[in-house]
Amino acid sequence: MLVMSTALDKSMEHTKWQQPLGLAYIAACVRDISDVSIIDCEVDEQYTKTLIKEIDADDQLVVGFSANTYSYPEALRLAELVKKHNPEAHINFGGYHVTPLADLVLRNRPFIDSVIRGDGEVPFRQLLLALSNGNDLSKVGSLTYRNNGNIISNPDAPLPDLDSLPYPARELLPMRMYFDNLKNSGFSKIYKASRMVYINATRGCPNSCNYCCLFNRDLRARTPANIVDEFEYAVNEYESDIVYLVGDNLNWDYKWLLEICNEIAKRKLNIKWVGVTINPQNIDEKLVKAMEKSGCINTFCGFESGSQKMLGFMGRRYLNNNYKAVAKILRRSEIITCASFILGYSGENEKTLKDTASFIQESSFDRIFASILSPLPGSYTYNQVCDIVPGLRYDDNPPIEKIKMSYIERYCDVSYQMLEHIRDEISHMSTMSFNIY
């Protein structure tokens, strides 16, 4: 059984149509050796009851939980509930939050039996085979587990070739519920689309941004033809009218993205697509026109700051003087651009905030997503805040809001209240006033 946890703080805006591709990939890679099901707590309003029902129906149970930092507390509650109902169940955790904290998680949570670090397809399959053949976990790659009271971390498993992976097991997901949720959203009204299928294009990121908690710096990409094959599959199998193409830095390899666009156009696929994310480099008129021609209607672009000083502090490789040209190219296109910005990185002051606000105002972005920096486990910023918050290095369930405020108080020359004010001010600079949710 695989469980996608949910954040209990519902004040944070989030979609109700996002599909947990990671778990669906894992399910596709193990269903030939085990019965498998997926519970998506984001859309199943009775997920606790669903989980209990599944526990009672299964004697030999392995439960894999996927959680980020915000959904980790609820994952803990559910995992403990599983262990109480079935003490023999093997509880495994994976995801961005636990990967850098694997030892700490097992030290603090006796009801969790193991943690998979990083990509889960190969390790989870190895784990199921090991548990069914004598419980020797020493050969399971990327696994952290207990052995005679000791916490052991096995060497990393080989990363899978993305083209070799089967398509995600979407038949185990509540696809109709995702479609219905999207149909009733502002997104559907704006883009005239209601049957969105999520497709993964890349994994990893070659950048070294100091605020990022990505655990894999090696960018791996599927071949363009392989990706567009799945576009066709989405149309034929799910009558999809829009694809959400997932991958950090989709335009890192300019020729690769151009080839995807040309392949979609060549096959005359009547489908729209959203690109999440692109970076503010490697963008020109030729690429944007190809994206438009192939059906791209929206993209998410990480500018992060309008201050060259802050970009340098953040470890961003990009030059602010290129930003204005990129913003102009995107503005002239029919593609709706959501520009993202991070406020409150170390060194932020009134001048750098003013630079960012001025850049946004000049650029006239369709949509703006501004957030206050959250130092997350695995990032350089999290290590910084561990130096100033007592006991944080020993806490696997960190208080995020307290951490944010402590970081800003120590490392910024502006207050948290000012950042909130600027964030709200910047968010209202969008040229399109609509709520996609």
Nearest to 288 by CA among 247, 250, 319: 250
Which residues are paired to 62 by β-bridges?
90
pLDDT at 57: 64
* Residue 297 banded pLDDT, cuts 50, 70, 90: very high
Residues 6+ apart with CB under 8 A from 352: 305, 307, 309, 310
pLDDT at 217: 76
Higher per-residue confidence, 317 vs 119: 119
pLDDT at 58: 64
DSSP 342-377: EE--TT--HHHHHHHHHHHHHHT-SEEEEEE----T
Rounded average pLDDT over 382-407: 96
Helical (H) or strand (E) element with 187: helix 186-191
Nearest to 249 by CA among 297, 306, 300: 300
Rounded average pLDDT over 288-307: 96
Nearest to 245 by CA among 271, 219, 275, 265: 275
Residues 6+ apart with CB under 8 A from 263: 224, 225, 228
What topology does CATH give the domain 185-427?
pyruvate-formate lyase- activating enzyme (3.80.30)
DSSP 212-240: ---S--S-EE--HHHHHHHHHHHHHHH--
* Residue 372 banded pLDDT, cuts 50, 70, 90: very high
Residue entry with tokens 């989980």: 51
What is the CATH class of 2-153? Answer: alpha beta
CATH 3.80.30.20 residue window(s) in the chain: 185-427
Nearest to 106 by CA among 96, 119, 97, 93: 93
pTM for the whole structure: 0.96
Nearest to 262 by CA among 290, 237, 233: 290
Residues 6+ apart with CB under 8 A from 312: none
pLDDT at 36: 96
In order of 228, 385, 425, the CA distances from 374 in angstroms are 35, 10, 19
CATH 3.40.50.280 residue window(s) in the chain: 2-153
